[in-house]
Structure 1
């Protein structure tokens, strides 16, 4: 069986049997089986289900790490593919099945040409990427992922429906945003809806509070920087004629720079204090730091750009804006130089492709071969650069 056919079969099997973060036992088992069949040694037990494969070249040189995430999302699939998820409420809606199968395909090709490789390749299959703020990158490293072999550089790729198949998105610095979480519990005093003066209406306070939150970005963060504050859930109230005594809000903050993040955090704390005084309520506030911003190392981003241009042509490298979406790969980049890039995965003529995390997210499988060839090229070029 040709490698691309093998990779497609693996991808479809993984897509039909998605496992959430921390539960990827069968996915991990399949990865191990494929590595074993290819004659690639590996170690397990990193963050429970993580796997590390090792390909040794024929001569001393640098060490390149390649990473793929392996977990799925708690989403009920609504796509029309004939290999859709068999597990109700679980779906590979972020392309991690493609990432895993493409890294295996890359491993198969590199293993075939290992006699030509000047150095070592580490294959990092990471669990729990979707579970911010814990994630899987940090637990894997804490479990000794790189204790024996420390990478000189690390690369990761992510399918990207905003780009068609055959295109690569890469930036020299910011690729993805820091993803932090917020929670507010606004505690007022209940009462009868006809006598609001006897209570402290937590819903009215909430409405004012949410509006004020948005002024933090528009009037406190430098317009040349980026920040997003979004409240995703609001829960409060009992009945149409009861003054709500409590409302719980949950949301997220997205930034690229530490300066913008510090500004948002400080203003949030001050806003909470001000509302407590102005409305005579109590607001319990929690800010949880999640994944940091995914910041590429310029020299390795340039290598990816050069490798992709040689493989696919200059036209395959459009200028792209960074995304505010969070990515656990950031924690690898906090410790190791490297680059994270996007792999186009939508059909060329598709006007409105379904986005990541959508129940109808669709991945064009013709991107599998592009992803494998790009990762192989990037790896070989990086090893040559390290050798030099």
Structure 2
């Protein structure tokens, strides 16, 4: 299909995408509670006569578009569905109608673009060979991650994709651009939760207590050696604790102190090794102060890996549609994404589409109450996703 003809179709679908985006933005739902969102998506698929399965991994949806010779090739396209516990302050006419829930990470845009791409691909299904799987995934923002639950629930047991494509908004790049990168592009993420326990008591009689606050403080300091002395110097990682609760008083040493943090890295081998170091240091430090400690360190999200061949081809197809000047490369970042579960199992490409334009240049960044996208970016997000899919199907 010629890019000009395709662009005309994408522009015709664009108003539909904007309508979907505004509806989804106004009706956000938290992780694993995306019931109305799931129903909205299935109603859209019904209106396009696209068959689907609902309730995968909780509220997940899988739509299926079959072209000519459906068995020739199967690819998957993914969008996440959940919102964040943030009270919106954008002043938009389509701002959130749900108290303290907001699409502040662009998942509304991801869903709208995938619905738009589905509409385009469904209209073009006589022009490609193969099958397209539409994955609408719950719970990206919350462990254990909706991607892992959908996989455990057999989302691809009947139809297995040869590759999977995902995208994410980025206010770092201007509207009309897509950004790619091969290899490990996002970090693993493991949560760490500690409860330091000891004999509490009067602050004037510390010799009769186990000072849980002091033990917790020394534990935080001791854990810094994981980065400075145990981690290979050229291996990126962060170990950050952002929560410490010690419900004592000026003269009361509490019986327990709770800490929570995150450990992230780009190296899966080091990840496994570091988890052992972290547990040992926590236990030994608390023990030195006569305190016991409960440690919860569930296995979180793995590293997100972009397959070099799939990424390069996706970048090539995007360049054909948008022009080389609108194709960028994004930097590695120690943020995480549960699309990584898909990327660990299937050749994958996870790219970013720019959402910075005139309409939102003074708005807040993602994960803030003032966040919003430039709606014009939805055209690139939709057409780019559909064009890349066609490239793989017809390639």
TM-score range relative to shorter protein = over 0.9
Aligned to 1:71: 82
Decide which of 350, 358, 361 is 2:371's aligned counterpart: 361
**Partner SS, residue 166 of structure 1:** coil
Decide which of 29, 32, 36 is 2:42's aligned counterpart: 32
Residues 58, 114 of structure 1: 8 Å contact kept: yes
Question: CA offsets per residue over residues 336-371 of structure 1, 9 Å max, x none?
Answer: 111111111122697786332222222111110001
Q: Mind listing any 5+ residue stretches in structure 2 that lack a counterpart?
A: 1-10
Quote the Cα distance in structure 2 between the aligned partners of 1:138 and 1:350. 34
Aligned to 2:113: 102
How many residue pairs get matched? 384
TM-score of the pair, normalised by structure 2: 0.92
Q: Mind listing any 5+ residue stretches in structure 1 that lack a counterpart?
A: none
Quote the Cα distance in structure 1 between the aligned partners of 2:342 and 2:246. 39
Quote the Cα distance in structure 2 between the aligned partners of 1:171 and 1:314. 15
Aligned to 1:185: 195
TM-score of the pair, normalised by structure 1: 0.94
The 5 A counterparts of 1:146-165 are 146-165=156-175
User: What stretches of structure 1 move > 4 A for 4+ residues in a row?
Assistant: 348-353
Moved more, 63-72 or 270-279: 270-279
Question: CA offsets per residue over residues 123-173 of structure 1, 9 Å max, x none?
Answer: 11111222212x222222333322221111110001112222122221111
Q: Against the structure 1 CA distance between its residues 329 and 319, is the aligned structure 2 distance closer, same or farther, given a 3 Å change threshold?
A: same
Quote the Cα distance in structure 2 between the aligned partners of 1:21 and 1:237. 29
Aligned to 1:259: 269
Q: Against the structure 1 CA distance between its residues 236 and 16, is the aligned structure 2 distance closer, same or farther, given a 3 Å change threshold?
A: same
CA positional deviation for 1:76: 1.3
CA RMSD of aligned residues (A): 1.9
Residues 191, 297 of structure 2: 8 Å contact kept: yes
Residues 223, 282 of structure 2: 8 Å contact kept: no
Decide which of 23, 38, 49 is 2:33's aligned counterpart: 23
**Partner SS, residue 325 of structure 2:** helix
Residues 177, 292 of structure 1: 8 Å contact kept: yes
Q: Against the structure 1 CA distance between its residues 349 and 96, is the aligned structure 2 distance closer, same or farther, given a 3 Å change threshold?
A: closer
Aligned to 2:186: 176
Moved more, 207-216 or 223-232: 207-216
Question: CA offsets per residue over residues 285-316 of structure 1, 9 Å max, x none?
Answer: 12111111111111001011112222222232
Moved more, 216-225 or 348-357: 348-357
Aligned to 1:62: 73
Aligned to 1:226: 236
Alignment of 1:333 with 2:343, yes or no, is yes
Quote the Cα distance in structure 2 between the aligned partners of 1:43 and 1:254. 34
